Structure 1
Amino acid sequence: MSVTARLGVDIGSATTKAVLALPGGARLPLMPDGSPRMRSRVFALPDGGFLVGSAARAAALEHPDRYLADPMLTIAGASIQLGDRTVDAVEVFAAILTAIKAEATRIAGHQLDLVTLTVPPAWGRIRRDALREAATTAGFTNVVFVSAPAAIATYLASTSANRTTAGGYMLVCDAGAAATTLTVLEHDDHGLQQLATTVAAGASGRDFDQLVAAHLIAAVTPPGQPASAADLQDPQWRSVLAAAEDAKVNLFDHERTAVALHDPYPPVVVDRTDLAKIVQPALAALSAAVTEVLSAADIAGTHLSLVVLAGGNAAMPGMKQVLASTTCHEPQVPVRTDIAAAEGALTAAVGSEVRAAVPAELPRVKLRPTDLIRPALFAASSMALLAAVAMTLWTGDSPTGLTVHLAEELISAAAVVAVLTAWSVAHLLPTLYLAGDSNVSEGTTLIRATFAGAGALGIVIAALYGLAIGALVGAITTEYASHAIVPAVPVAAGALLVAALARSIPAAAVAAWLTQLRHPVSAVLLGSFGILAMRYAVSAQISPGLSSIIIRIGGAATGLAIAVTLIRSRRLQLLTAAILTIGGFSVSSLGNNRAITLAYIAAIIWWTATRVATTARIAYPQLRARVEQVLTARSP
């Protein structure tokens, strides 16, 4: 059947935008709610129907338990309770699409059956299938999906001279309400291909709102009383978050705004300069995420030919400056950033047939030389640390008998690096697999198996290390095994958690996610060198002056290793490295080399925890919002 009009729809956590392409070529932004940006809000009626947009918000004043402010909370597959009804993603998104279709049909004068929907770049089969079913329920028989970053890039290319040619790379920053997504696209002979994508944790529109709300709370809190964002869980402060969002949006277009708070508090005046300072923590998170996604795509900022900034929070003060400083390119903002994705989806889908929900193969990753040598270097470092324990232990007489003197912290360090060795092997095998032809189910199974094996093998190796040292000194005890196992357990547990979460990683995000599981080679080499140097200075028969110099060099190297392990942002890494290197050099002595070694072990454990958190965030992108919703609902 011929289609005389087409519809492009961009459903976001906060707003839904739609553009209608008429037969004559004209394109009209739809305003089903009186604005091109219809609020993505849903109210479940008792009779089984739904209200959407501003009508949903108005109805929520009397029945807040039937109100859903963010439809993305349901898209991962879990149902949600709205009043006495249990609804799922299909029902929620079908309600939104039905409202859009009704407005499009009214303007076009006939029924539409083709819709082009934008989807986040990390969405895989489960969420796309749910959205496809919702579109079918709303009456669309032909559904085409277009990645939101590709749609934004296509819109920019069609409305300006800013475009890439074959062989070029671009970075698209989509600053949305629930997430700020960064995606690297390559323009090849077949069009735009996605190389890597990540969500800038802590830099979403809601994160901006919470920072502004915390500032408002602090501004009206009497001196001497603590002010915290946790106050937002109190019913009397919930309106502050809405006021913060309104203030943020007002400051996008005006130099200053007065924020009215509930009695007895006076209004708070905030200007654009204040806003830029308030959101600095979120902007720092954005900078780190840019570095992360460029690394995942295996390119540098200088390789980019275009940087695009779009989304509802694109006008946030400081965002353009952060992108410019981290990519060396001035970001380009679409003329109509509010409808860029919806209209770009129409252009990108011209001539497209209905496509499969997700490619049959996992995205490929680029195999780096360090991926191949990382396990060998880590294994050598672990063995060197263990050998140092054996070579520097000594025995002496005491009133209670023979006493063994050895460096227990070196046993711990050797065991932790041994688990990292298993981790690096677990990372290498799926990386090798995904660098060639790959299959979704086989690739996911391999990832789960390798990381589960790494966790189990790491504990076994740690136990063997401890038992080996015990056998060396002739002690029938588990004392030395505990020195190895206790610090190794968190890292091994991290590998097991990664394995458990891997099944929920969207197919399109696997390649970028794997790059984030690479432990820095330089950190382990520097840390091992520093620990060995400090141990040598303590045990070797050398002059006190030379011993002091070697200990300080070892402490500086270990401090640098801690910085490289903990910090991913290049700029912060350099600053932190300078501080910790100088600090390690200054405080190193015969008495605190043990503490420095334990600090490095703690840094590795913290790195493991952040990798697990990153995996959970990618696997369940709406988890944080869902938790916040539950906390808000349960607060009195």
Structure 2
Amino acid sequence: MPSVVFQSPDGTFLVGSDAERRALTDPGRIARQFKNRIGDPTPLRIGDAALTAETVTARFLVRLLDSLPGGRPARVALTHPAGWGRYRLESLRAALSAGGLADVVLVPEPQAAVRAHDAVARLEEGAAVAVYDLGGKTFGAAVVRKLAADRFVPAGPPEELDLGGLDFDEVVFQHVVEALRPGWDELDPMGPGVLAAVAELRRACTVAKEKLSADTEVLIPVALPGIATREVRLGRPEFESMIRPAVEETVAALDRTLRASGTSPHELAAVLLVGGSSRIPLVTQEVSAQLGRAVSPAPNGMAAIGAALEARGVEPKPAVVATATWTRPPLPEAPKPLRPKRMKLIPFVAAGALAVAVAGGLLANNVLTNKAGAESKTGTTTTAPSTTQRSDEPPVVQYVPNQPTAPAPPPRTNTTQPPKPKATTTTTRPSTTVTTTKSTPPPPSSTTTTTSGTTKAGAP
């Protein structure tokens, strides 16, 4: 069914061929190829209604399912381009949920096509398949690998281009317009008769493009008021010369996809050409020349068949109404106000800290020299000023003045005289010498002996 919708003045929503027929007399109430606008906050103007693309898609799907002879099926699967991100998928799922289709299975189009091919060809595990999908508005290239039964995963990042069959239709239409000049420029673009005639001409251009896949020449009928020309000729060579740059671009994208997945053309188990525009003979020729192997278009509806197989084999998830908090991706935040770079203050802070440390060391040198004897009377080592050392804390590094080196006396218990300093390791720094020792406070209920300023635990 064509992806076309028509909104009548009384609110009736028509889809597919019915919408195409009504659009001939009222072209301002039709929308085509709305799938690619999903996630775009700008609504589509269809007659008097303004609807987002995901809402139009949901209504299209509901009308399609309600028109089936057997009614709605138990499960529904909907394919989407492989490159869609989470935002677009959540926007679509929210619109489907609002339309009463909360349990729809969303399947990437390349995986769906390969799944349908596997149902016929029975691919081996590990087999890689290239998918060239040239649809109505977009092109997609992907490499899909079969890991196990009914499990297909992308072998690398897909590529997408914003071109497709509608662009080829426009090429044919512009060819006809050039053939109708100067009479075309004299038409009233807003005249009701002209609008209807132009809509019919566009439809004839699409039909002519499709016929050129089998014929070498077509005649495009023209029925415009005030123009005597009734037919415009178009040959296949002329048509292919007009679309060749776009086709070559798609082939280059397929080659990049193969390289990104680390797969060479001779390693591919199959190459699937899907999408209506992939049936153009030039497409088959260019892809075959690029890959060095013969390829042919896949049967119609490969992605739809794969989606049906996916819906049959996967249990639907619990119905959860998705809520889209945004109708478009969030805008970038406003730039934050500039602040001074704090990194530039680090050298000054470090210099200040060094000066304080040196001054503190000199001051401690004088103070500790005058109180060297008083520090050891209690059997503990003096810590830094205003610091209390507990038994459960790690040793504290002390800074004491230089003292003469002398042999350590024998340990004495509960001595009341100051101990003689022990040999210390002296580290010399610019303009000051500091001595480092470690102190360990005595554990409770033990006899403490002091040897050269170091506290040791004796026998109980």
Amino acid at match of 1:42: V
TM-score (norm. length: structure 1)? 0.44
Amino acid at match of 2:139: T
State the partner residue of 1:299: 263
State the partner residue of 1:340: 302
Q: CA deviation at 1:237?
A: 6.3
State the partner residue of 2:212: 251
Which of 173, 192, 199 lines up with 1:213 in the alignment? 173
State the partner residue of 2:153: 193
State the partner residue of 2:368: none
Amino acid at match of 2:146: H
Amino acid at match of 1:205: G
Q: CA deviation at 1:158?
A: 1.9
Q: Aligned in 2, Cα 1:289/1:125: closer, same or farther, shift over 3 Å? A: same
Amino acid at match of 1:214: Q
Amino acid at match of 1:92: V
State the partner residue of 1:69: 32
In structure 2, distance between residues paired with 1:341 and 1:92: 21
**3-state SS in 2 of match to 1:114:** coil
Amino acid at match of 1:347: L
State the partner residue of 2:110: 149
Pairs aligned (count): 310
Alignment of 1:88 with 2:60, yes or no, is no
Report Cα offsets for 1:228-272 as digits up to 9, x if no partner. xxx9xx978676543321100122243432111243224223343
Contact between 2:80 and 2:107, CA under 8 Å: does it hold in 1?
A: yes
Q: Aligned in 2, Cα 1:71/1:346: closer, same or farther, shift over 3 Å? A: same
Q: Aligned in 2, Cα 1:150/1:269: closer, same or farther, shift over 3 Å? A: same
State the partner residue of 1:423: none
Alignment of 1:260 with 2:221, yes or no, is yes
**3-state SS in 2 of match to 1:39:** coil
In the alignment, structure 2 segments of 5+ residues that lack a partner are 320-328, 336-460
In structure 2, distance between residues paired with 1:356 and 1:277: 51
Contact between 2:24 and 2:199, CA under 8 Å: does it hold in 1?
A: no
State the partner residue of 1:310: 274
Q: Aligned in 2, Cα 1:69/1:328: closer, same or farther, shift over 3 Å? A: same
**3-state SS in 2 of match to 1:167:** coil
In structure 2, distance between residues paired with 1:356 and 1:88: 26
State the partner residue of 2:433: none
In structure 2, distance between residues paired with 1:350 and 1:60: 36
**3-state SS in 2 of match to 1:101:** helix
Contact between 2:114 and 2:144, CA under 8 Å: does it hold in 1?
A: no
Q: Which runs of 4+ in 1 moved over 6 A?
A: 234-238
Alignment of 1:126 with 2:95, yes or no, is no
Q: CA deviation at 1:308?
A: 0.6
Contact between 1:42 and 1:71, CA under 8 Å: does it hold in 2?
A: no
Contact between 2:103 and 2:317, CA under 8 Å: does it hold in 1?
A: no
Amino acid at match of 1:170: V
Q: CA deviation at 1:96?
A: 1.1
Q: Aligned in 2, Cα 1:56/1:157: closer, same or farther, shift over 3 Å? A: same
In structure 1, distance between residues paired with 2:117 and 2:95: 29
Q: CA deviation at 1:80?
A: 2.4
**3-state SS in 1 of match to 2:277:** coil
Report Cα offsets for 1:21-41 as digits up to 9, x if no partner. xxxxxxxxxxxxxxxxx2222
Contact between 1:170 and 1:304, CA under 8 Å: does it hold in 2?
A: yes
In the alignment, structure 1 segments of 5+ residues that lack a partner are 1-37, 358-443, 453-636
State the partner residue of 2:142: 183
**3-state SS in 1 of match to 2:158:** strand
Contact between 2:141 and 2:158, CA under 8 Å: does it hold in 1?
A: yes
Q: Aligned in 2, Cα 1:355/1:331: closer, same or farther, shift over 3 Å? A: farther
**3-state SS in 2 of match to 1:183:** strand
Q: Aligned in 2, Cα 1:130/1:356: closer, same or farther, shift over 3 Å? A: farther
Task: Map residues 444-459 of structure 1 onto 2, 5 A cutoff.
Answer: none
Contact between 1:164 and 1:306, CA under 8 Å: does it hold in 2?
A: no
Contact between 2:3 and 2:32, CA under 8 Å: does it hold in 1?
A: yes
In structure 1, distance between residues paired with 2:258 and 2:135: 20
In structure 1, distance between residues paired with 2:31 and 2:199: 16
In structure 2, distance between residues paired with 1:355 and 1:323: 39
Report Cα offsets for 1:516-553 as digits up to 9, x if no partner. xxxxxxxxxxxxxxxxxxxxxxxxxxxxxxxxxxxxxx
State the partner residue of 1:513: none
> Larger C-alpha radius of gyration, 1 or 2?
2
State the partner residue of 1:165: 124
Q: Aligned in 2, Cα 1:55/1:240: closer, same or farther, shift over 3 Å? A: closer
Q: Aligned in 2, Cα 1:327/1:201: closer, same or farther, shift over 3 Å? A: farther
Amino acid at match of 1:179: T
Structure with greater strand share of residues: 2
Q: CA deviation at 1:46?
A: 4.4
In structure 2, distance between residues paired with 1:88 and 1:318: 36
Task: Map residues 332-371 of structure 1 onto 2, 5 A cutoff.
Answer: 332-335=296-299, 337=300, 339-354=301-316
Q: CA deviation at 1:58?
A: 3.6
In structure 2, distance between residues paired with 1:84 and 1:218: 33
State the partner residue of 1:535: none
Q: Aligned in 2, Cα 1:301/1:355: closer, same or farther, shift over 3 Å? A: farther
In structure 1, distance between residues paired with 2:147 and 2:61: 33
Structure with greater helix share of residues: 1
Q: Aligned in 2, Cα 1:54/1:83: closer, same or farther, shift over 3 Å? A: same
Q: Aligned in 2, Cα 1:312/1:258: closer, same or farther, shift over 3 Å? A: same
Report Cα offsets for 1:212-236 as digits up to 9, x if no partner. 23333444558xx9x9xxx9xx978
Q: CA deviation at 1:172?
A: 0.4
In structure 1, distance between residues paired with 2:50 and 2:87: 19
Q: Aligned in 2, Cα 1:279/1:101: closer, same or farther, shift over 3 Å? A: same
**3-state SS in 1 of match to 2:58:** helix
Q: Aligned in 2, Cα 1:61/1:196: closer, same or farther, shift over 3 Å? A: same
Q: Aligned in 2, Cα 1:317/1:275: closer, same or farther, shift over 3 Å? A: farther
**3-state SS in 2 of match to 1:314:** helix
Task: Map residues 509-524 of structure 1 onto 2, 5 A cutoff.
Answer: none
